Amino acid sequence: MNLSFYPRLAFDGLKKNRQLVLPYGFTCVLMVMMYYILRSLTGSPALEEVAGSSGLRVILSLGTWVISLFSVLFLFYTHSFLTRRRKKEFGLYSVLGMGRRQLGAILCWETLLLGVGSVAVGLGLGITFSKLAELLLINISMGNVRYDLWISPQDICWTVLIYGGIFLLILLHDLLQVGTTSTTDLLKSEAVGEKAPKANWFLGLVGVLLLAGAYWMALTIQSPLEVLTVFFGAVLLVIVGTYLLLISSSVAFCRLLQKNKRYYYKKDHFVSVSSMAYRMKRNGAGLASICILATMVLVMLSSTSCLYFGTEHSLNTLYPRDINITLSLAESSSLGPQTGVTQTVKETFTACAEQLGSRMDHVLESTYADISGVFRDSTVILDPQEVDFGIGDNLSDLHVFYFIPLEEYNRSVSEPVTLAEDECLVWSNRDAFTGDSITFQHGKTFRVREILPDFAPGETRSALVNITSSIYLVVPDLECALGGIDRLADYNGDRMINYHWGLCFDTGLSDAEQLQLPEKISTLLEDSPIDRLMQTGTFSLVLEGRAVARRELYGLYGGLLFLGVALSIVFLIATVLIMYYKQITEGFEDQRRFQIMQNVGMTRQDIRKSIHSQLLTLFFLPLILAGCHMAFAYPMVKKLLMLFISQDAWLFAWVTAGSLVAFALLYMLVYRITAGAYYRIVAGRLPQD
């Protein structure tokens, strides 16, 4: 036999089924390209020009693992559509005398042609667009652009190895299916449908309960710290609940429609409802996959976009001035602008500013103390043993309490207030405070004079950095208020209460000059009075610059946005491909059904209306459910973003709404295109009216 016989058969088979093969090949190329680009960026030397490059590399490396895992699952899923269509063809080959070995040879050549072609084209496009992706990433991350091209042979080898392994697994699966299926079954593979499924009310109820549990978790969680412990569990509940609901309850829904004689026995609905009920088990899995992918796209796009476009808001909240200095002191006696330590620090930084040609404008000083404890029933538990036990019960009970002197608070308001010795003003950053008193274990009880609606930005910075909820107390006198708890120690013997003094000021310098300022100040502080005081261990100093923080935040959030967009593109293509394959395969299956209905009096216009009714019911259900998932996920994702210092709730709301609208428009466009493909297939064999 000619050596080119099997390759020719394989090529002809792929060519004849190009309506299915081309979208599948396009998806393979896309997966290979995106994997190579992310892997190439992970090791690119150009990332050294981006602040926080080590964290950015971890983010990109995580993206390569996500794409490789998704490629395995999704390519197997989409290839099953091709296998289903090709079984009849292999049955014909078997009737013509081909054995399982010859059929296996054809499959090997088909897989080789598809695999080599997809990997080669994907790598070519990946190498071509990797530099563009690198420039985009560095630009949104505010790094310094380099124009040299980075091509790593190791990344190429890994890409070939990963996707070569995926195609090998697909080939083994196909060989097993063809090798264990009789010739008769191969010939009847397209004609054999699914058994009419039964409505499983129990599994449908379980799905509803799982979704209700996930929604309840999303709505009731108060602490961002607690979100970390339940987020992935809630995601798993949503995935399982969605599959159970759409597979089981959708069958029951179709059965109810069939029992409604006024609705069911109409030519627009009769064929569509019976067809949906007959295939709903398979349809339900596909629709659930579309719903989950759509939800993932919406969550990723909205959250990463909110982080990136809200960077300046986060910076202005975290860093009220160009330079921010925080002293952590061991004794409360060292606090205040007139004490030796704080006065020395202020004088030293004033001298540094003069030497560097900068100014000290809009100076902001703050004095406060903080302690962590479990807050329950107006009582703050401070014993380490009880705190650990309390955290185990409920993470949302853990709070950080900040004590602010009344004198300092009055400097930041237009109308000063007075407080009795046992009174306080209260402001909470995340959880609404409703009590009328606060009692500290081993300490004092304070009556709440007023719950403040807001607080000075410079004094809430520490609360925003903490992932736990924070409560601020304005007290008449700091030392008096902390009496009884100022000597409490943890397991290591360290004091549980921390004293802080902050100094913030604007420099009047440009961003480029400010980038060098913290390092220059650190150099000038060597052998200064501050340096000598720090060596005594009486305090520690943290120096932060807003310009430096801007680069770091844009590096982190830019990397997250880039990865979110990259994965969203992959998931969007996957969603489109699932919709397309469902339309194509079901169109071929429905050809004969609609032909029979036309023979008994159904017109082409009636068939079009029936198709429209069926597709509208099927393909807008995942979009509606994805919107429902996103609506309930909104509170949880918003709290999760707080861990990234994102506090702009309005921006997240607008970005989420915009993402949902944009996705819905794209979804409707894809629906129109795929619905047209379905109708063309069904109408292709219908006689004219």
**DSSP codes joined into one string, 179-248:** HTS-HHHHHTTTT--PPPPPP-HHHHHHHHHHHHHHHHHHHH---HHHHHHHHHHHHHHHHHHHHHIIII
DSSP 8-class letter at 489: B
496 or 190: which leads in pLDDT: 496
For the cut 80, the answer to whether the pLDDT of residue 555 exceeds it is yes
Model confidence band, residue 26 (pLDDT cutoffs 50, 70, 90): confident
| CB 272 within 8 Å of CB 614 | yes
103 or 559: which leads in pLDDT: 559
The amino acid sitting at 642 is M
Tokens representing 115 are 């695999």
| CB 369 within 8 Å of CB 500 | yes
| CB 269 within 8 Å of CB 614 | no
> Could you tell me how far CA 685 lies from the centroid of its own chain?
45
Question: What is the pTM for the complete model shown?
Answer: 0.75
| CB 582 within 8 Å of CB 330 | no
Tokens representing 362 are 């809009």
For the cut 80, the answer to whether the pLDDT of residue 459 exceeds it is no
Task: Identify the bridge partners of residue 365 per DSSP, sorted by sequence position.
Answer: 503
Lowest mean pLDDT among 123-127, 428-432, 451-455: 428-432
CA distance 102 to 115: 20
CA distance 106 to 138: 46
| CB 280 within 8 Å of CB 251 | yes
- Give the pLDDT confidence of 624-682 residue by residue, as tens digits: 888 888 888 888 888 777 777 766 777 888 888 888 888 888 888 877 777 777 677 66
pLDDT of res. 605: 67
Lowest mean pLDDT among 423-427, 508-512, 621-625: 508-512
Tokens representing 378 are 């107006």
Task: Identify the bridge partners of residue 495 per DSSP, sorted by sequence position.
Answer: 489
pLDDT of res. 123: 92
For the cut 50, the answer to whether the pLDDT of residue 457 exceeds it is no
pLDDT of res. 340: 64
| CB 581 within 8 Å of CB 78 | yes
CA distance 446 to 472: 13
pLDDT of res. 613: 65
**Which helix (H) or strand (E) segment is 326 a member of?**
strand 323-329
For the cut 80, the answer to whether the pLDDT of residue 562 exceeds it is yes
